[in-house]
Structure 1
Amino acid sequence: MPITAVDKDTDALTLTVTAEFPVPVRRLWDAYMDPRQLEKFWGPPSYPATFTRHDAYPGGLTTYFMTGPEGDTPGGYWEWLSVEAPSSFSVLDGFLGEDGEPNRDMPQIRMEFSFEPTETGSRMTTTSFFASAAELEQLSAMGMEEGMRQAMGQIDDVVADLQAFAAGGVTAAEPLDDTRLRVTRVIRGSVEQVWRAHEDPALVSRWMLGPDGWTMPVCETSVEPGSSYRYEWASDDGAQRFGFAGEVLEAHAPYRLVSTEQMVGAEGIPDAAQMAGVTRNEMTLTPVEDGTLLTLVIVYPDREAREMAVATGMVDGMETSYARLESAVLAA
């Protein structure tokens, strides 16, 4: 158990938890920045967490739900206040309502996480600030302290895995629920470089090509909310052509880009590939030790549409493109 001290101060209205880990500060920090890792320990073992959004930058939002043994799915959120990598970050922590939006009628607490090196690894101090003694007691009665003990007891196994989440791994995809698919890849390059590689059409047309044997005759990019974009690809033999078009919904450079997407102008493409309908694509870029963690959450109309899209080999094509981004664009 990594927790070394728990201090509940009823005068200062704080709960402080101190824990130590046998890994460098940066390794522990990255575990909190990466939703794939964070969800392996944020919820207690009986209530594992699934992170549907994780914008680890000031002004960003994180949302997650925990699945209980009876199938219940209580949700929570973080509103990010500050980020000082890799020494500290602070968030407002609260509960989601049944509609998936922050429930302002439930308690909201400020949490500050600080990280410092020790002779044997690193120390993390988590301080929760409460608005009143009643609020502190309410959340204590709900099992907050025990939940934190159980959750942090899982961190050691996560941070000990140095390979699963590092650069050099291929693009991975995993369903989050019936309609959402999360695609992740650590890309060797800065957040600013990866953002520009999605913004500049001269760069996009060099790497976003999928498997060999395709060109990109149309590349109209945009990162301005309310504007549209369009990409079209053509096979070298001229037998196939297709494209994607959509509207930019949100843009918070260089961290988050949200847009709609729909296949257009398909010629010679199997019908199954065209049945995904309109999706919502949420891309988040997060700096990690090895480069940039690119997280793309794709929201499909339904489970069938998601499975059809995955069955086309979409993820393999994305891996080819991201590998080309590293070798042909960022390494140039």
Structure 2
Amino acid sequence: MPVTDITSDPEKLTMNIVADFAATPERVWHVFTDPRQLERFWGPPGWPATFTRFDFAPGGLAQYAMTGPRGETSRGRWEFLTIDEPRSFEVLDGFADEHGDLDDGMPAMRMVFAFEPTATGTRLNGVTYFHSIDDLEKAVGMGMVEGTRMAMGQLDVVLQDLRDYAAGKGTRLEVLDDQHVRITRLVEGPRDLVWRAHHEPELLKQWLLGPDGWRMTVCEVDAAPGGTYRYAWEPDEGTEGEPFGFDGETLVSDAPRRAVTTEHMTGTDYPATVNDLQLYEENGATLLTLIITYPDAATRDMVLATGMIDGMETSYQRLERQLVA
């Protein structure tokens, strides 16, 4: 995790963040000032940002929206105040309404991003200045500290070439907290095809099978928001195991970038999870990121103990062999 320190100072009405990156200042500058790179981490897991405007010049505006796992939207905007490439830039940051105007009912703040070279790469020193102690306390109460830490925790993959980041690592699991895990897998193939492979029944039946010796018997998908899906599997003759299945609802669909669904084990009273699938393509390879929200740590641990990650890796290997080879 790149964040090394986040502190607030009620006397100075500031919040300071220090983060270290194993990349050059020029590379770090680029990810903070290119909207396509910035939106890959500006927002905590489960709330990715989409920048619809980015006028990177003093007096220019940036506008963005973060979309939550159930389709909720939080909008923001920056007004660029000063730019000293590649050392620092300063913005007036605030919440925005549906028209992109500042929301007067929410605290606005001035933020300074400063980048300095270190022996191992680059250090970010970020300072946020608040107008009042009430604004500072409101921001902390809304989860700004933890949200910033989790958002910056996504930067390692953004700063690296995808193949360098994921080469030979297969399906990777990160436990984010008691309720959230992040699963990543690089798929050697274009994003459009990976998206189709997750939503078209004739393609799903070719790869989403888990361990060898199982077959998919039901595959019904309505990928539109509000639509439902149902999957079922059973073992081949001679393979041990009991038939099972999952069902759920599509909450968000932003093809070919993001799909959020619920997932419930059919025929059980187990609580459902929320599965947030995001796809990003670079040089013909697609990084698949799946953020799963569990109701509690006990459910999380129970599911992970089933060998889920091993089954996912077998399926992704099959996906690459059969669909994107």
What TM-score, normalized by structure 1, do the two folds share?
Answer: 0.57
| 1:316-331 alignment runs, 5 A limit | 316-331=310-325
Residues 229/316 of structure 1: CA separation in 2 closer, same or farther (3 Å cut): same
2: CA distance, partners of 1:163 / 1:322: 22
Corresponding residue number in structure 2 for 1:81: 52
1:258 deviation in Å? 1.5
1:52 deviation in Å? 3.5
Residues 154/256 of structure 1: CA separation in 2 closer, same or farther (3 Å cut): same
1:202 deviation in Å? 0.9
2: CA distance, partners of 1:255 / 1:161: 16
> 5+ residue gaps in structure 1?
1-18, 40-48, 57-79, 84-88, 114-120, 132-141, 267-273
2:166 pairs with 164, 169, 182, which one? 169
Corresponding residue number in structure 2 for 1:180: 180
8 Å CA contact 2:40, 2:49 repeated in 1 = no
1: CA distance, partners of 2:276 / 2:257: 11
1:204 is paired with a residue of what secondary structure? helix
Measured on the aligned residues, the alpha-carbon RMSD in Å equals 4.8
2: CA distance, partners of 1:234 / 1:255: 31
Corresponding residue number in structure 1 for 2:101: none
2:45 is paired with a residue of what secondary structure? strand
Q: Is 1:216–2:183 an aligned residue pair?
A: no
2: CA distance, partners of 1:324 / 1:29: 36
Q: Is 1:284–2:278 an aligned residue pair?
A: yes
1:177 deviation in Å? 2.5
8 Å CA contact 1:172, 1:183 repeated in 2 = yes
1:92 pairs with 35, 60, 64, which one? 64
2:256 pairs with 254, 257, 262, which one? 254
1:128 deviation in Å? 7.2
Counterpart of 1:81, as a letter, is T
1: CA distance, partners of 2:258 / 2:40: 20
Corresponding residue number in structure 1 for 2:233: 233
2:274 is paired with a residue of what secondary structure? strand
2: CA distance, partners of 1:210 / 1:168: 25
Corresponding residue number in structure 2 for 1:71: none
Corresponding residue number in structure 2 for 1:242: 244
1:261 deviation in Å? 0.8
Name the % identity: 36
2: CA distance, partners of 1:160 / 1:293: 10
1:164 deviation in Å? 8.3
Residues 160/321 of structure 1: CA separation in 2 closer, same or farther (3 Å cut): closer
CA deviation digits over 1:265-308, x for unaligned, max 9? 58xxxxxxx85x21111112222345222121111111110111
2:113 pairs with 145, 148, 159, which one? 148
1: CA distance, partners of 2:115 / 2:281: 28
1: CA distance, partners of 2:47 / 2:194: 19
Corresponding residue number in structure 2 for 1:110: 77
2:306 pairs with 306, 312, 323, which one? 312
Residues 164/235 of structure 1: CA separation in 2 closer, same or farther (3 Å cut): farther
8 Å CA contact 1:167, 1:187 repeated in 2 = no
8 Å CA contact 1:255, 1:285 repeated in 2 = yes
8 Å CA contact 1:167, 1:188 repeated in 2 = no
1:30 deviation in Å? 12
8 Å CA contact 2:246, 2:265 repeated in 1 = yes
Residues 166/125 of structure 1: CA separation in 2 closer, same or farther (3 Å cut): farther
2: CA distance, partners of 1:216 / 1:160: 33
Equivalent pairs, count: 244
1:52 pairs with 46, 53, 60, which one? 46
Corresponding residue number in structure 2 for 1:66: none
8 Å CA contact 2:157, 2:165 repeated in 1 = no
1:148 is paired with a residue of what secondary structure? strand
Corresponding residue number in structure 1 for 2:207: 207
1:263 deviation in Å? 1.1
Counterpart of 1:148, as a letter, is F
2: CA distance, partners of 1:53 / 1:109: 13
1:195 deviation in Å? 1.0
1:199 deviation in Å? 1.5
1:233 is paired with a residue of what secondary structure? strand
> 5+ residue gaps in structure 2?
1-22, 55-60, 81-85, 97-107, 117-121, 126-154
1:36 deviation in Å? 12
2: CA distance, partners of 1:109 / 1:55: 10
Corresponding residue number in structure 2 for 1:294: 288
Residues 234/34 of structure 1: CA separation in 2 closer, same or farther (3 Å cut): farther
